[in-house]
Amino acid sequence: MKVNQFTDTHALNQRFAATLGAILSQAIETRGHAYLAVSGGKTPAALFTILAEEALDWQRVTITLCDDRCIAPAEKDSNERMVKENLLQNKAARANFISLFSEKDNDSAYVADVKSRLLGMPAFDAVILGMGEDGHTASLFPCSPEINAGLADTDEVVLMVTPKTAPYKRISLTKNRLLNSRAMFLHLVGENKLQVLNAALAGNDVFQMPIRAFLNNPVTEVQVMYAPQ
């Protein structure tokens, strides 16, 4: 794990967008296409608006989400809505987007529908994770009955999650699918999040704080992008 600390979010977002732009550009040059998985919430919105102005061949970039709430994309709490309003704009409007939303009316059909969109996708070129104050990342919540399946070393790529301490049923990529990436970032803002990170680093129980499954992974190095405010 490497921690990159910045004086403020402006400096963080400028450097982060440039770093992601370089990764995606190199992927396009090397294999003709780039793949990016992003998180929702408030923290990455400003980053996304800067990244959307990067001079890339965006039509050769595919973007998906690490997780989303099982709600219509038009609803205000939808991660898809946030990504479309902030990232899939300006130059990045030409990017391909794979939604995690399904109109299927039962959980198994919902998961199967989303899984069918993701199965042909190769390794990500970059994954941007966030982290909650309970140590969850994506929608891998420690309070959920599905946490064992989400952190299991299997070939499953996506699962339905029903957290007990957060609203909405969720759809989330699994630990192994997220780790199947050439670069992985943990985007954190605020001193509270730094305290949570330090708590995560102080222990080993991944089911208590699922972010540990990524921080302690021996194969994929996580780069922490942190600003105190």
pLDDT at 103: 96
Listed as ranges, residues in the chain with pLDDT below 70 are none
pLDDT at 79: 98
pTM of the model: 0.97
Domains (range + CATH), the chain: 2-227 (3.40.50.1360)
pLDDT at 180: 97
Q: How many CB atoms lie within 10 A of CB 96?
A: 14
